Amino acid sequence: MRGLLEELTPLNPLADSNLVNLIIVAVAATGGIFLAIVLGGLLSALIVLGALELYFRAKIHQSSLEQYFKILCNSSQDTYDKLETFLIKKYPEHHDIAEYSKKLFNIFDRRDLVPMIAQMDAESLYRLHYRQICGQLTAVVNNEAVQRAANQALAPLTDVLTFLSSQRNRVLQTPFEVQSPKGEANDIARADLDLALREIDGIQAKLGNSISNATFPYVFLAWSMLYVPFLISTAIYLPFLHTDHAPPVSDWAWLFIPVLAFSKYALAMTLATLVGIVLSLGSAVFGGVAITWLDRILASK
């Protein structure tokens, strides 16, 4: 019995030093990959945030807002007719709606459309955090609602946002287009305010994704240019790729030297490239999350 136990003891996997070494190497490799992704993401987040504050935030916000309001930048008679009809239904008590419609229509094609209706200069508005931009728009909409309730004043930002919503959502008619003739002015103003605030929520979602969408390809490309060449150069010098088993020498052997060299290193280079792409993608994704997180923290200070 004792001899049988001694014979079975080496079959215990835990006693196999090769398996233990494999587990140690796997844990170390996993920890190293995780650390590389986390540290790489944090480093890219800090670099991108610095670049945003110095150069790119205003350009990204401006491009994103121009794209969002692009549906209005259609200088056609049809758009003007829709706007005029839209405002006549909204302000039946005003007699100068035609002039007001022309003024709004003339600023649709302007690049400073958003700063004008937000009542801020473009340089200051676009450099704000996207939540602060939407907060400024919300403040203007609320002020217009108060003024409209007090003295039936016009509300340019609210009008632009509600008209934009009606142009984007053709199936869903705006409240003042389906109102009954007996509808009260306060109910109409409240419906306009709700519609404008929902449109600002859409702007916030658009701006919130704009920075991540604009920076992710560059961060991914930068880490790929770092990881992939380094891993390929490391894989080429792996010990098991360098053996002394040379092929038999013949007169035609020189023709097969490139094929043999490529087949020898192709698998290692391919695996190194795939690992580099995965590491680059992980660093870019974690960097995008870190950028959003740090940007919100800095904006709230």
Does residue 178 register a pLDDT over 50?
Answer: no
Mean pLDDT across the stretch 53-59? 84
Mean pLDDT across the stretch 38-50? 84
Confidence category of residue 75, pLDDT binned at 50, 70, 90: low
Q: Which has more pLDDT, 271 or 253?
A: 271
Does residue 120 register a pLDDT over 60?
Answer: yes
Q: Return the closest-CA partner of residue 131 out of 299, 288, 301.
A: 299
* Least confident range of 138-142, 153-157, 263-267: 263-267
Q: Tell me the one-letter amino acid at 145.
A: A
Confidence at residue 233, expressed as pLDDT on a 0 to 100 scale: 80
Confidence category of residue 245, pLDDT binned at 50, 70, 90: low
Residue 142, token pair as written in the block: 């609320």
Percent above pLDDT 70 for the chain: 74
* Least confident range of 106-115, 157-166, 172-181: 172-181
H or E, element range at 283: helix 257-300
Does residue 267 register a pLDDT over 80?
Answer: no
Confidence at residue 153, expressed as pLDDT on a 0 to 100 scale: 72
Does residue 203 register a pLDDT over 80?
Answer: yes
Mean pLDDT across the stretch 264-284? 82
Mean pLDDT across the stretch 147-160? 79
Confidence at residue 181, expressed as pLDDT on a 0 to 100 scale: 44
* Least confident range of 152-156, 225-229, 283-287: 152-156
Does residue 1 register a pLDDT over 70?
Answer: no
Q: Which has more pLDDT, 26 or 202?
A: 202
Confidence at residue 262, expressed as pLDDT on a 0 to 100 scale: 60
- Burial zone of 94 (CB within 10 Å; 0-12 exposed, 13-18 middle, 19+ buried): middle
Q: What is the pLDDT of residues 76-90, one digit of tens each?
A: 777 777 888 888 887
Q: Return the closest-CA partner of residue 188 out of 283, 93, 77.
A: 93
Q: Quick one: how far is CA 143 from the chain centroid? A: 31
Q: Return the closest-CA partner of residue 219 out of 227, 231, 208, 230.
A: 227
Phi-psi region of 152 (alpha: psi -120 to 50; beta: other; left: phi over 0): left
Does residue 63 register a pLDDT over 80?
Answer: yes
Mean pLDDT across the stretch 254-275? 68
Rounded CA separation 180/177 (Å): 9
* Mean pLDDT taken over the chain: 76
